[in-house]
Amino acid sequence: MYNRVINFAAGPSTLPLEVLEEIREDLMNYKGTGMSVMEMSHRSKTYLSIFDDTKKTLRRVMSIPDDYEILFIQGGATEQFSAIPLNLLAGGKGYYLVTGSFANKAYKEALRYGDAICLYDGSAKSYRHIPNENEYVLPKEASYVYLCSNNTIYGTEWQTYPDTKDIPLVADMSSDIMSRPIDISKFGLIYAGAQKNMGIAGLAAVIIRKDLIGKHSSITPTLMQYSIQAKGDSMYNTPPTFSIYVLGLMAKWVEKMGGLEAMQKRNEEKAKLLYDYLDQSSFYEGRADRESRSMMNVSFFTPSKELDDKFVKESIEAGMSNLKGHREAGGLRASIYNAMTIDNVKVLIEFMKKFEKENA
Ligand SMILES: *Cc1c(COP(=O)(O)O)cnc(C)c1O
């Protein structure tokens, strides 16, 4: 109807058609206000109700306990690489499980502000692997332990999280937040850029246990202080209003689809279809170790770089986009976030079969 491509982009990424249609419906005149959400004061009654509703819906969908604050912050996930050490190190040590390039960037950033320690370096295994508990030793004491739950670029994902006991566990969940239920109480802080699995760019959601707020160092920029953001309910300055509105629509969409259990089921089904196909094929090769595979970013290779390029070119002709792997990792990658349908994953697999047949 709209002549849309099947978009496997890693982020910003495809949105559900229903959500796009709702945005279009609201665009010229949001529910009788005579203006779009983009044109509203962030302190207007209408916008404040959108804002509160977004927060409430996210809390409900993700089962976020009352002793956690939800903050909506500009600057994307990358800004949190700095904000986390600046708010949580508090003169102590931050331990990093470096399983991919975003975790590595976060670690490198923390080194600028204090005592950051690499607890596990996955680069030796080309970031194909998520370590099990025998491959690193958790500290007895620390300001926090940091991990990236899903390695967007290389396609690996933590299946179970380390038990850090009293040490706050901090997780970058940018590319797998809301893909499955998680026990928030196991974490000190979770954050995610919205543009992968829950909306559009310009916004990071930070879910932080309230007792961890207020420990920032004296050099922490005002806008990066979680206490300032919490005190002003993320409105110390103008928040990314439209991105927050879209996040609200996405959270409602997930709820309508049956919540996080239903999302997990659907995501597992999509990932299984693709991985099962890769596993029986002698043409394609999956990148990640089997037990470390991501449910969100399926990374794979054809037998050669030339065939990878040909695959990308022909997939575009077949109505699919963004299957080229990240520039750092090479190969091919299909990002199959919440909004990707099972039917569209099947279209990709049919294309892969045909390509294999023609090029094997
Ligand atoms: C995309 C991504 C980032 C960077 O997000 P920005 O919003 O562009 O700063 C960080 N971490 C992970 C896991 C990501 O997937």
pLDDT one digit per residue (tens) for the chain, 360 residues: 899 999 999 999 999 999 999 999 999 999 999 999 999 999 999 999 999 999 999 999 999 999 999 999 999 999 999 999 999 999 999 999 999 999 999 999 999 999 999 999 999 999 999 999 999 999 999 999 999 999 999 999 999 999 999 999 999 999 999 999 999 999 999 999 999 999 999 999 999 999 999 999 999 999 999 999 999 999 999 999 999 999 999 999 999 999 999 999 999 999 999 999 999 999 999 999 999 999 999 999 999 999 999 999 999 999 999 999 999 999 999 999 999 999 999 999 999 999 999 999
Scan for tokens 């849309």, then name that residue: 4
CA 193 to centroid of ligand 1, rounded, Å? 6
Strand, helix or coil at 80?
helix
∠ CA 81-205-217, nearest 5°, is: 45
Distance (Å) of CA 181 to CA 184, 187, 251, 261, 265: 9, 13, 13, 6, 11
CB atoms within 10 A of CB 136: 16
**Residue 310: partners with Cβ closer than 8 Å, 6 or more residues away:** 302, 359
What per-residue confidence (pLDDT) applies to 341?
97
CA 153 to centroid of ligand 1, rounded, Å? 10
For the record, the structure tokens of 152 come out as 């967007």
What per-residue confidence (pLDDT) applies to 106?
98
Nearest to 255 by CA among 35, 29, 53, 67: 53
Question: Which protein residue has the closest C-alpha to ligand 1 atom 10?
Answer: 77
Strand, helix or coil at 257?
coil
CA 98 to centroid of ligand 1, rounded, Å? 15
What per-residue confidence (pLDDT) applies to 1?
82
**Ligand 1 within 6 A of CB of 337:** no
Identity at 14, one-letter amino acid code? T
Residue 144 near residue 87 (C-beta atoms within 8 A): no
CA 48 to centroid of ligand 1, rounded, Å? 27
CA 1 to centroid of ligand 1, rounded, Å? 32
DSSP 324: B
Q: How far apart are CA 336 and CA 102, in angstroms?
A: 19
Distance (Å) of CA 165 to CA 135, 181, 327, 334: 18, 20, 37, 35
What per-residue confidence (pLDDT) applies to 169?
98
What radius of gyration do the chain's Cα atoms show?
21
Q: Ligand 1, residue 194: give the atom nearest the CA.
A: 7
Q: How far apart are CA 32 and CA 211, in angstroms?
A: 41
What per-residue confidence (pLDDT) applies to 256?
98
Per DSSP bridges, beta strands 204-209 and 189-193 are antiparallel
Q: To which H or E segment does residue 320 belong? A: strand 320-321
Q: Ligand 1, residue 204: give the atom nearest the CA.
A: 7
Question: Which protein residue has the closest C-alpha to ligand 1 atom 7?
Answer: 76
Q: How far apart are CA 190 and CA 198, in angstroms?
A: 14
CA 56 to centroid of ligand 1, rounded, Å? 24
**Ligand 1 within 6 A of CB of 174:** yes
CA 78 to centroid of ligand 1, rounded, Å? 6
Residue 14 near residue 7 (C-beta atoms within 8 A): yes
**Ligand 1 within 6 A of CB of 11:** yes
Q: Could you tell which of 99, 102, 179 is best to mutate to test the pocket of ligand 1, judged by most ligand atoms within 8 Å of the CB?
A: 102
**Ligand 1 within 6 A of CB of 77:** yes
The per-residue DSSP string of 125-138 comes to GTT-----GGGS--
Q: Please tell me whether the peptide bond between 240 and the residue prior to it is cis, using omega within 30 degrees of 0.
A: no
Distance (Å) of CA 235 to CA 35, 175, 205, 223, 248: 21, 25, 13, 10, 17
Q: Could you tell which of 72, 148, 157, 174 is best to mutate to test the pocket of ligand 1, judged by most ligand atoms within 8 Å of the CB?
A: 174
CA 121 to centroid of ligand 1, rounded, Å? 19
